[in-house]
Amino acid sequence: MIDWGRTCLITVTMLGGLLTLASLLIWVERRLLGIWQERCGPNRVGPGGILQPLADMIKMFTKEDWIPPFADKVVFVLTPAIVVVTTLMTFAVVPIAPGFIVADVNVGILFFLAMSSLAAYSVIVGGWASNSKFAFLGSLRATAQLISYEVFMGLSLMGTVALAGSFSLTDIVEAQRGLWFIVPQFLGFIIFFIAGLAETHRAPFDVPEAEAELVAGYHAEYSGMKFGMFFVGEYLSITLLSAMIVILFFGGWHGPVLPPVLWFLLKTSVFIALIILIRGTWPRLRFDQFLSFSWKVLIPLALINLVVTGGIVLARNG
Amino acid sequence: MIVFAYTRDLLLGLWIVFKRTFTKPVTVQYPEERPYLPPRWRGRIVLTRDPDGEERCVACHLCAAVCPVDCIALQAAEDPTSYDRRYPEFFRINFSRCIYCGYCEEACPTYAIQLVPDFEQSEYARRNMVYEKEDLLISGTGKYPDYNFYRVAGVKIRDKDKGGAENERPPVDVKSLMP
Ligand code: SF4
Ligand code: SF4
């Protein structure tokens, strides 16, 4: 049966850890981008600037929390919570180490896909409720992106599911004890990575919030802590994306010498850094380019990957 | 295969940016480290004095006329104790409008107005950006230590008659000029 005390402990640890991590990532991203652009980044508040998120938070809390008079008030206020809540809920099925998981459901991948689709609503609805043209354009673009990446995101994971023979994330990690799925599922990894970047609205797929053309896109009208929620949500989804990549393709907690938790955190940090590096390097795609790329290239590739993997699994099981 | 070319370029880009991890940032940590400012840097404006310690400015209004943003205001006056020596009664520069173009320095015939290497002019109140003559006038000669307008130009002042300047001969008395 469910051990309530243990579950509560894990939940609290995860929540505390994740929220700290998300706010720390604000500093980490700015610092790393600075280093990669031959600057310093924020280095004034606290040792090495590590207290910068705290200063940012004080600033956000003391700012005027403005709700535009032309916005749809209720939806406008509720939206920022959606992205944070759904992302945090997805972490419930993320196995960090053997037994260190809030809810070991047997359809973990489906839960993850469902929650990530829900998180996309915050972008669409938030932009729509703002009732201004930039926010509206942002959510239009988000919708256009959504109908492409959601398709191949699910498809790219099915190869992994076929190999592991289970939808449960714990089983998938266990199935990678010998060989990480990055080797047999390299194509699936690339496609999932692209889909994940599009889902977190990170460069080079950050068209919904493209600062250069749309001010801030879907969250242009948000201020104060509501804007902060979108921010925290973005960093949470980066963490989630990295964690999912590690679980699905890089063997989760498996690794020599170090304890499983450390391995998991290490691999996740590498991918977080990679996502930040990509933001610092690659230019943004136009969203019609992304649409045609995903429908004409990625979806066929994902289908081929699924069919080939399915055939191999079938042949092996005879 | 164009796909491979694209992929190679994308990865190459990532690698080039990643290599920056090991280079030193170009940032100058400003309040602690200070950038080197060359002597001819166009910064805060000063009014200088000639080697005798008198104000150099003769209130000719040339700087005010040339200033593209019209931020110099001055009023000419004559000093009764030194004959026709002119000086500005007030001299005001609005630094919130100045664009530090240096035209005033170029236009000035007496080297009175000079731009010096100093950019730390932040103020909390906007009216503090307006500098009066007391704020502008310094006790030294600035960039041209030997130049003294009245010792070069032919104008008559208290202790120098016409023709008494350097490289000048006394004026010819036309009435004594005999054929
Ligand atoms: S530097 Fe240019 S803008 Fe400033 S006072 Fe002189 S002429 Fe005017
Ligand atoms: S500062 Fe120079 S240009 Fe300006 S009024 Fe005085 S003498 Fe003339």
Q: What is the pLDDT of residues B39-86, one digit of tens each?
A: 889 999 999 998 888 888 889 999 999 999 999 999 998 877 766 778
Residue B131 DSSP class: E
Residues from chain B that touch A282, judged by Cβ atoms under 8 A, are: 10, 13-14
pLDDT at B25 over 60: yes
Give CA–CA dist B49/B68, Å, rounded: 25
Going by C-beta distance under 8 Å and a sequence separation of 6 or more, which residues neighbour residue B80?
Answer: none
pLDDT at B19 over 70: yes
Pocket test residue of B45, B55, B58 for ligand 2, highest count of atoms within 8 A of CB: B58
Give the β-pairing of B113-115 and B45-47: antiparallel
The atom of ligand 2 lying closest to the CA of B76 is 5
A131: left (phi over 0), alpha (psi -120 to 50) or beta: left
Walk along chain A (318 residues) and give the pLDDT tens digit of each residue: 567 888 888 888 888 888 888 888 888 888 888 888 888 888 888 788 888 888 888 888 888 888 888 888 888 888 888 888 888 888 888 888 777 777 778 888 888 888 888 888 888 888 888 888 888 888 888 888 888 888 888 888 888 888 888 888 888 888 888 788 887 888 888 889 988 888 888 878 887 777 777 777 777 788 878 888 888 888 888 998 998 898 888 887 887 877 888 888 888 899 999 999 998 888 888 878 888 888 888 888 889 988 998 888 888 886
Probe site for chain A from B8, B18, B23, B24 (most A CB atoms < 10 A): B18
What's residue B83's pLDDT? 65
CB A263 within 8 A of CB A246: no
What's residue B47's pLDDT? 92
Number of Cα atoms under 13 Å in the Cβ half of residue A315: 6
CB A233 within 8 A of CB A23: no
What's residue B97's pLDDT? 92
Between the CA of B46 and the centroid of ligand 2 the distance, in Å, is: 11
* Chain A residues with CB within 8 Å of chain B CB: 34-40, 277-278, 280-282
Of the ligands numbered here, which is closest to the C-alpha atom of B100? 1
The C-alpha angle A194, A199, A205, rounded to 5 degrees, equals 60
Query: How many CB atoms sit inside 10 A of residue A11's CB?
Result: 14
B117 interfacial to chain A (CB closer than 8 Å): no
Between the CA of B60 and the centroid of ligand 1 the distance, in Å, is: 15
Residues from chain B that touch A38, judged by Cβ atoms under 8 A, are: 20, 23-27
What's residue B64's pLDDT? 92
pTM of the model: 0.77
Of the ligands numbered here, which is closest to the C-alpha atom of B99? 1
Of the ligands numbered here, which is closest to the C-alpha atom of B68? 1
Number of Cα atoms under 13 Å in the Cβ half of residue A119: 30
The distance of A32 to chain B (nearest Cα, Å) reads 8
B1 interfacial to chain A (CB closer than 8 Å): no
Segment (H or E) for B113? strand B113-115
Please tell me the residue having the least CA distance from ligand 2 atom 8. B60
Residue from the list A40, A277, A278 with its beta carbon closest to the beta carbon of B25: A40
Q: What are the φ and ψ backbone dihedral angles of A53, each rounded to 5 degrees?
A: -60, -35
Between the CA of B81 and the centroid of ligand 2 the distance, in Å, is: 21
CB A268 within 8 A of CB A239: yes
> What is the chain A residue with the closest CA to B14?
A281
Q: Which of A198-202, A212-216, B92-96, B117-121 has the lowest mean pLDDT?
A: A212-216
Largest Cα–Cα distance of chain A, in whole Å?
Answer: 66
What's residue B82's pLDDT? 61
B29 interfacial to chain A (CB closer than 8 Å): yes
Helix axes A224-249, A108-130, angle to 10 degrees: 150
- CATH number of this structure's domain B36-143: 3.30.70.3270
> What is the chain B residue with the closest CA to A280?
B17
CB A117 within 8 A of CB A147: no
Q: If you search the block for the tokens 């796909």, which residue do you land on? A: B3
B31 interfacial to chain A (CB closer than 8 Å): no
Among residues A187, A162, A170, which one has the least CA distance to residue A252? A170
Give CA–CA dist A170/A164, Å, rounded: 10
What's residue B68's pLDDT? 94
What's residue B61's pLDDT? 92
Please tell me the residue having the least CA distance from ligand 1 atom 6. B104
Q: What's the complex ipTM? A: 0.76
CB B59 within 8 A of CB B86: yes
Number of Cα atoms under 13 Å in the Cβ half of residue B110: 26
Probe site for chain B from A30, A44, A277 (most B CB atoms < 10 A): A277
State how far the alpha carbon of B137 is from the alpha carbons of A32, A226, B70, B115, B131, in Å.
Answer: 48, 52, 20, 12, 10
Six token digits for residue A128? 């729509």
CB A209 within 8 A of CB A218: yes
CB burial readout B98-118, b (16+ within 10 A) else e: beeebbbbebbebbbbbbbee
What's residue B67's pLDDT? 94
What's residue A136's pLDDT? 84
Please tell me the residue having the least CA distance from ligand 1 atom 3. B98
Among residues A245, A258, A241, A250, which one has the least CA distance to residue A177? A250
Contact yes or no for A278 and B21 at CB 8 A: no
Residues from chain B that touch A281, judged by Cβ atoms under 8 A, are: 13-14, 16-17
> What is the chain A residue with the closest CA to B31?
A44
Residues from chain A that touch B16, judged by Cβ atoms under 8 A, are: 281
Among residues A53, A52, A25, A30, which one has the least CA distance to residue A41? A30
Probe site for chain B from A30, A32, A38, A270 (most B CB atoms < 10 A): A38
**CB-ligand 2 contact for B108 (6 Å cutoff):** yes
Residue B20 DSSP class: G
Largest Cα–Cα distance of chain B, in whole Å?
Answer: 101
**A209 by DSSP, 3-state: which?**
helix
Q: How confident is the model at residue B158 (pLDDT cuts 50, 70, 90)?
A: confident
Give CA–CA dist A122/A78, Å, rounded: 9
Q: What is the pLDDT of residues B128-150, one digit of tens each?
A: 999 999 899 999 888 888 888 88
What's residue A2's pLDDT? 67
Instruction: Say which amino acid occupies B179.
Output: P
Q: What residues does each domain of chain B span? A: 36-143
Contact yes or no for B18 and A277 at CB 8 A: yes
What's residue B48's pLDDT? 92
State the DSSP string of B29-95.
-TTTS-----TT---SEEE-B-TTSSB------HHHHH-TT--EEEEEEE-GGGBT-EEEEEEEEET
Q: What residues does each domain of chain A span? A: 68-317
